[in-house]
Amino acid sequence: MKYLIWIAVAAIIWWVWSKRKAAARRRQRDDSPQPRAPERMVRCANCGVHLPESDAVIHGGDHYCSAAHRDQAVSRD
Ligand SMILES: [Zn+2]
């Protein structure tokens, strides 16, 4: 009878351990980087550097690499 208890305890430990391992594996898969869609590149209207559109500062239909270059271009006009 005593063996049965130990077998049950071992089974519970194994069950919890395997569940945690499966959860960790699932988490790791979720963290894996997604293939990103190629991003459109734009050109700074002030200095001409190319940068991803999401990083660009947009003003008056033009793209700028930074707020400083936007301000330079705006003050020049
Ligand atoms: Zn620039």
Enumerate residues with CB within 5 Å of ligand 1 (an ion).
44, 46-47, 65, 69
Two tokens at 18?
Answer: 């395997």
Distance 34 CA to ligand 1 centre (A): 30
User: How many CB atoms sit inside 10 A of residue 77's CB?
Assistant: 5
Question: Quick one: tokens of 55?
Answer: 């990083």
pTM of the model: 0.51
pLDDT in tens, 11-68: 888 998 998 888 888 877 777 677 777 899 999 999 999 999 999 999 999 999 999 9
Cα distances (Å, whole numbers) of residue 72 to 39, 43, 56, 75? 26, 15, 15, 5
Sign for the pseudo-dihedral over CA of 63, 64, 70, 74: negative
- pLDDT tens digits along 9-20: 788 889 989 988
pLDDT of residue 53: 96
